[in-house]
Amino acid sequence: MSWAAWLTVVVVCALGAATPGPSLAVVVAHALGGSRRRGVACAWAHALGVGTYALATLAGLAALLRAHPRLLTAITALGALYLAWLGVGLLRTSAARASLAPTGETAAIGPVRDGLTMALLNPKITLFFAAVFSQFVGPEPGWLKGAMLCLTAMAVDGLYYSLVAGVLTSGPGLGWLHRQGQRLDRLMGLVLLGVAAWAALRLAAGPV
């Protein structure tokens, strides 16, 4: 793979990561409701899910979706249910504060679980890799090119969302953000429920 082709992949992955959506909302919720460490953990777990899709693309994701179109519908439905579950949890302000800022083992599992699950159940990511990322794969990519593509997708995604978590948990506005924690939880909960409702309406209107 040439440097020009690799830089194109970097730019495309960066644009895909920077597009606002439920993944961003989940990382923001963990960063603001917990800490920078929790936001970064969620970011890299999300990147692992993105890497999984990159690997699936190498294995023929686009062909699989064409052969089984209901697979994307199932991913969308599961994603909507998971978003609704997260949104309801955030709207229960006191319970959400406890679940997003616990101690011990749960503190490590929560953001990792949500980041990975959100990546795997986000139909936008599925379509991105099937329709856009697959254009860079080629008919028979070698193992070196495949490894570069997977690692690039993971690195760009993880670094972008880590940057988001870092920006939100530093600077002069940090104190204000923590004081507004309950309101922000409710806002993020409503955002997630709104995305879940939009996904449900799309499913009701017909195949995704």
- For the ranges 13-17, 62-66, 85-89, 161-165, the lowest mean pLDDT is seen at 62-66
Strand, coil or helix: 78: helix
Q: What is the Cα–Cα distance from 85 to 202, expressed in whole angstroms?
A: 18
pLDDT, tens digit, 9 for 90 and up, residues 121-140? 888 898 888 887 877 776 66
140 backbone φψ class: left, alpha, beta (φ>0; ψ -120 to 50): beta
Residue closest to 16 by CA, chosen among 184, 144, 148, 134: 134
Tracing tokens 């439920």 back to the chain, one arrives at 22
Question: Alpha-carbon torsion 89, 91, 94, 97, what sign?
Answer: positive
- Regarding predicted confidence, which is higher, 115 or 69? 115
Return the domain boundaries, the chain: 23-205
Residue matched to tokens 């880590």: 162
Is pTM, for the whole model, over 0.85? no
